[in-house]
Structure 1
Amino acid sequence: MTEHSEPLVQRLLNKVEIWGNKLPDPAALFIALMVIVWLLSWALSGVDFSAVDPRTGQALVINNQLSGDAMTTFFSKMVTNFSHFHPVGVVLVAILGIGVAEFSGFINAGLRALMAVTGKWLLTPMVIAVGIVSHTAVDAGYVLVIPLGGVIFYAAGRHPLAGIAAAFAGVSGGFSANFVPSSIDPMLQGITQAGAQIMNSEIVLNPLNNYYFTAASSLLIITLGWFITDKIVEPKLKGNELDGDLSDLPTMEPLQENERKALRWSLFATGIGIVLLIVSTSFESSAWRASDGSLTSFSAPLMQSIVPLIFLLFLIPGLVYGIIIGKIRTTKDFIQGMSKAMSDMGYYLVIMFFIAQFIYAFGQSNLGILLAVKGAEALKALALPGGVTITGIIILTGFINLFVGSASAKWALLAPIFVPMLMQLGISPDLAQAAYRIGDSSTNIITPLMPYFPLVVVFCQRYVTSAGIGTLAAMMLPFSVIFLIAWTIFLMIFWSLGLPLGLQASYEYFP
């Protein structure tokens, strides 16, 4: 097939991949971005923007990151910026347990057993659905579901990068779609409620004020992701030949009797561990609960322990499987599994070091806050009709998300502006929050500034060594664009039909 005989969409995605892969190495890219932040903060530090910082109520100023005090502070915090950077610990701790499970053959055997009972045509929606549900475990999906998506597709004879794309779309692109309530729900609700109380101090929103919409959205995201993966992304990937080290990846060979025995015992051990966890969390006085008795709030020890629990979830069955199968005979063997997993993370750690420094400098400069506040003020000044304004909020949020990754940080900046503004138009805080969640989720998967984006690039390079930012961006762009458009229309349907977005507030919205 010649280039001109390919569909237009495929040609455009090929261009995105080529141009994207011509960008500097991700580590060098973040060095360049940090220098740009320094220069912009210096150039804009004396400018009066006539804007108020919603966090402090004071005039918003850009902090010069090239000043003597700022630079000495930057160097004094360089080590802690990296060592305390949240994605680093999350990834490395989880990878230790996964490394043992992979080294022993547990993951290989489990996937082969799964392939024996699951049709290939169901793999895509299954991977996306698992990615969506993984939000309940905070960031676990990035280090667990996404790499497994590639392994599952490879084991089924499909292109592994398509599996990574499907999983990434579920985990990150569908971040605000979930069957199961998660800690993000009360976090965003609290920020929305604070914004709504500017208009009516008696408003109390339900933590699940978007639950009906997010649950229904999960069906939308699974359906759209299924179509995009199978009809757009995977056909494009036929030209990306697999040239990585695939020697330890699973095949479709039937399990041998000793493998079935080891798998049964390892799953039995896992089941016992899960039962013990459930029992230990069931008591009101459980140490896993927060001071208010909640299991799902950010302060609950259970939520703080998600990554260590994932570590054990793979370590225990990995050890049991390896011992029974004979792969693990001494302590050196399972330590070798951890070491091998860590040896593959060197490139990721280099990238994370420079990302951590960039994010620190960007946050200290206040450039992201200025972008968010000015964008929101411009949208408010347009005084557009309700439906158009909601669409504008989604688009603006998606754009800001390319530069400011944290969902809570962005909403803390935007909610005090958007929520009261929309309430004056007769639009509920629940709807404002739902619009924000769509914009925040849809562009997660196309921004290299998202801390886990380079990790997904590393996962891709396991199969295609030449994969880079352009490869991943080209894979994920169709998901981002289609999710953004279809999800916005879906919200408009909810609104126009008067369907409840979730559990209702305790008070009327308007004074």
Structure 2
Amino acid sequence: MTAGTTASRRGWPSRLLDGVERVGNRLPEPFTLFLALFVIVAVASTVMAWAGVTVQIPGSDEVTEIRGLFTGEGLVWLTENLGANYVGFPPLVTVLPILLAVGVAEKSGMLAAAIRRLIGSAPRWALPYAVGVVGVLGSVLSDASFVVIPPLTALAFKAAGRHPVAGLIGGFAATGAGYSTNILVTSLDALFAGITQSVTGVLPNPGAPVNPVSNWFFNIAAALILMVLAGLLIDKVLEPRLTRQGVPQTERADEEDGAPSSEAVTAELTAVERRGLLWAAVAFALTAVAVVAAVAVPGSPWRNEEGGFLPSSPLLSSIVFLVFLLFLVPGLVYGWVVGTARSVPDVTTLMGRAVRDMIPFLVLAFVLGQFIALFNWSGIGSWIAVTGAEGLEAAGLTGFLAILLFVMLASSLNLFIISGSALWTLMAAVFVPMFALIGYEPAFIQAAFRVGDSATQILTPLNPYIIVLLTMLRRYEPKAGLGTIIARMLPFTVVFRVAWVLVLSVFFALDLPVGPGNGIFLDE
């Protein structure tokens, strides 16, 4: 049989996925991508500056001239602000403090123990729904969730007499497809908020400040629905299909591929781990009570001048501190009980390990900071926003259809740019100001981006954690390939995407706040 005959017999989904992989493999890694974009903006700004291009933002009487990087003024700006552009990159201000606290909670073992406790205590019938809960909540572990959760959920399924591959695939699907949402406030919320806030400075009416809880109401609604849907899909679609296909329920005896065996991971907690979780829960509750007491009393310094909290107040400006506190205190208590954080050097080591895991982002943040700073300083961001907004208005695309098209674009780009921070940096610089000029809150556009940034990442071969999952899966199915995984992920992607869009539609139609003090439309 010839290669051409083989190719002709393959269906269009396989050819499409092959095309996605080929195109995606030609994309540079994020640092190179944004370095190239920085150069493009530098050249374009210089040409526009020489041409005398100006922009006037609606609602402002000031006409702004485009400034070019390759001019005397631009070169001085760059040499004077290189360090400030990096250190002043807003996500660093929010992500790093939260990262230190989450690092203590994660590296001490508390978060993994909590996940194991939740999975291990679920009855057999409820196990798929427990996996849905754990998967969607898993983003609190950041990227580690893709490695920690699937083998644990596979083990829990096997112990309950259910198909372990359903736990493995379902755990990964729930983690990946629901990665952009959580009922908890995580470092991802801080990261997205920092990027969003960094591009609102060019707007005459930037709306309410964007902070880590600006999408909290939307996240809670989406997370609860996705948890249930993930459980239903695992229970009613994935597991029955695996049984019909005769997928083995036992792992291969050999370990020549070097894959991590789920047998090495136990869902059962030791006595000291159970005691640590108990005291961590007590510490969390006491800390939360202390915070509520501090802000609830009349005359609290965390209230605004009217005595409330919305639309802005010191309390909302202190979200980073509150998240830091609510992760750090339980993490320290757990670490003390189990012996992983008994001294100050222990704690600093745990924090250092967390920062070490973020080194790729810290390196990427250097070029991201330069790109955003140049985009804003040159005036190109304002020019694109005004031009794009005028184009949308001329085409009549100012309603929800424009939001849906934005979601579709984010979904498509997410197949090629896996880094959520890199993709949002790229899209926020253009679309946050553009949509603000036709009346949308930056926080709402950030929420819409979450819809596009979620489900499709479990389909793309460019997601490195799919390769990790494939290695785990081949312990059960030696001949499994990327097509095997993608075919099993597709129902999750489709259903999750529809659910995400429906939630977004309800918030839009009812004009519901997406977070404390953050709505859909800008106030006139």
TM-score grouping bracket, smaller chain normalisation: 0.5 to 0.7
Q: Report if aligned partners of 1:446, 1:477 keep a CA contact under 8 Å in 2.
A: no
Q: 1:137-195: per-residue Cα shift (whole Å, max 9, x none)?
A: xxxx7x656654653334213257545423424369xx9xx9xxx9xxxxxxxx99979
Residue in structure 2 matched with residue 117 of structure 1 by the alignment: 121
Q: Partner letter of residue 83 of structure 1?
A: V
Identify the range of structure 1 (486-495 vs 75-84) with the bigger mean alpha-carbon deviation: 486-495
For 1:94 and 1:435, locate their aligned partners in 2 and report how far apart those are by CA, in whole Å.
Answer: 23
**Deviation at 1:310?**
2.5
The DSSP-based 3-state class of the residue aligned with 2:181 is helix
The DSSP-based 3-state class of the residue aligned with 2:179 is helix
Q: 1:198-256: per-residue Cα shift (whole Å, max 9, x none)?
A: xxxxxxxxxxxx99999876777667777899989xx9xxxxx9x99979999333112
The DSSP-based 3-state class of the residue aligned with 1:284 is coil
Residue in structure 1 matched with residue 133 of structure 2 by the alignment: 126
Change (3 A) 1:501 1:96: closer
The DSSP-based 3-state class of the residue aligned with 1:261 is helix
Q: Partner letter of residue 266 of structure 2?
A: M
**Deviation at 1:492?**
7.5
Q: Partner letter of residue 33 of structure 2?
A: L
Structure 1 residue 312 corresponds to structure 2 residue 325? yes
Residue in structure 1 matched with residue 88 of structure 2 by the alignment: 84
**Deviation at 1:361?**
0.9
Q: 1:81-119: per-residue Cα shift (whole Å, max 9, x none)?
A: 111212123222222222222332222321211111344
Structure 1 residue 257 corresponds to structure 2 residue 267? no
Residue in structure 1 matched with residue 177 of structure 2 by the alignment: 166
Residue in structure 1 matched with residue 306 of structure 2 by the alignment: 292
Residue in structure 2 matched with residue 43 of structure 1 by the alignment: 47
Instruction: Identify which of 29, 35, 38 aligns with 1:34.
Output: 38
For 2:450 and 2:492, locate their aligned partners in 1 and report how far apart those are by CA, in whole Å.
Answer: 11
Change (3 A) 1:487 1:286: same
Residue in structure 1 matched with residue 355 of structure 2 by the alignment: 342
Q: State the TM-score, normalized to the length of structure 1.
A: 0.64
Summarize the alignment of residues 232-247 of structure 1 with structure 2, pairs less than 5 Å apart: none
**Deviation at 1:12?**
3.1
**Deviation at 1:316?**
2.0
**Deviation at 1:267?**
1.4
Change (3 A) 1:315 1:383: closer
Residue in structure 2 matched with residue 155 of structure 1 by the alignment: 152
Change (3 A) 1:217 1:34: same
Q: Report if aligned partners of 2:31, 2:364 keep a CA contact under 8 Å in 1.
A: yes
Q: Report if aligned partners of 1:435, 1:491 keep a CA contact under 8 Å in 2.
A: no
Work out the percentage of aligned pairs sharing the same amino acid: 30
Q: Report if aligned partners of 1:96, 1:341 keep a CA contact under 8 Å in 2.
A: yes
The DSSP-based 3-state class of the residue aligned with 1:311 is helix
Change (3 A) 1:80 1:55: farther
Q: Report if aligned partners of 2:276, 2:333 keep a CA contact under 8 Å in 1.
A: yes
Q: Report if aligned partners of 1:41, 1:62 keep a CA contact under 8 Å in 2.
A: yes
Residue in structure 1 matched with residue 339 of structure 2 by the alignment: 326
For 1:344 and 1:461, locate their aligned partners in 2 and report how far apart those are by CA, in whole Å.
Answer: 19
Change (3 A) 1:321 1:443: closer
Summarize the alignment of residues 460-471 of structure 1 with structure 2, pairs less than 5 Å apart: none
**Deviation at 1:360?**
0.8
Q: Report if aligned partners of 1:102, 1:318 keep a CA contact under 8 Å in 2.
A: yes
- Uncovered stretches (5+) of structure 2, i.e. residues with no partner: 1-5, 155-167, 194-201, 208-214, 243-254, 414-422, 472-485, 514-524
Instruction: Identify which of 290, 294, 314 aligns with 1:280.
Output: 294
Structure 1 residue 391 corresponds to structure 2 residue 388? no
Change (3 A) 1:76 1:411: same
Q: Report if aligned partners of 2:152, 2:266 keep a CA contact under 8 Å in 1.
A: yes
For 1:314 and 1:404, locate their aligned partners in 2 and report how far apart those are by CA, in whole Å.
Answer: 27
Q: 1:303-353: per-residue Cα shift (whole Å, max 9, x none)?
A: 222223323323222222222223333322222212222222222211111
**Backbone CA RMSD of aligned residues:** 5.4
Change (3 A) 1:97 1:51: closer
Change (3 A) 1:294 1:306: same
Q: Partner letter of residue 104 of structure 2?
A: V
Residue in structure 2 matched with residue 271 of structure 1 by the alignment: 285
Q: Report if aligned partners of 2:375, 2:429 keep a CA contact under 8 Å in 1.
A: no
Residue in structure 2 matched with residue 201 of structure 1 by the alignment: none
Report 1 or 2 for greater relative contact order, CA contacts < 8 Å, sequence distance ≥ 6: 1
For 2:353 and 2:503, locate their aligned partners in 1 and report how far apart those are by CA, in whole Å.
Answer: 45
For 2:333 and 2:408, locate their aligned partners in 1 and report how far apart those are by CA, in whole Å.
Answer: 45
Q: Partner letter of residue 129 of structure 2?
A: L
Q: Report if aligned partners of 1:33, 1:358 keep a CA contact under 8 Å in 2.
A: yes
Q: Partner letter of residue 153 of structure 2?
A: A
Count of residues paired in the alignment:
429
Instruction: Identify which of 385, 389, 393 aligns with 1:380.
Output: 393
Identify the range of structure 1 (104-113 vs 304-313) with the bigger mean alpha-carbon deviation: 304-313
For 2:259 and 2:464, locate their aligned partners in 1 and report how far apart those are by CA, in whole Å.
Answer: 13
Identify the range of structure 1 (476-485 vs 345-354) with the bigger mean alpha-carbon deviation: 476-485
Q: 1:59-91: per-residue Cα shift (whole Å, max 9, x none)?
A: 454321211111211221111111121212322
Q: State the TM-score, normalized to the length of structure 2.
A: 0.63
Change (3 A) 1:23 1:287: same
Change (3 A) 1:492 1:295: closer
- Uncovered stretches (5+) of structure 1, i.e. residues with no partner: 132-140, 183-190, 197-209, 236-240, 420-428, 449-455, 466-473, 504-511
Q: Report if aligned partners of 1:397, 1:436 keep a CA contact under 8 Å in 2.
A: no
Q: Partner letter of residue 328 of structure 1?
A: A
Change (3 A) 1:274 1:23: same
The DSSP-based 3-state class of the residue aligned with 1:262 is helix
Identify the range of structure 1 (480-489 vs 117-126) with the bigger mean alpha-carbon deviation: 480-489
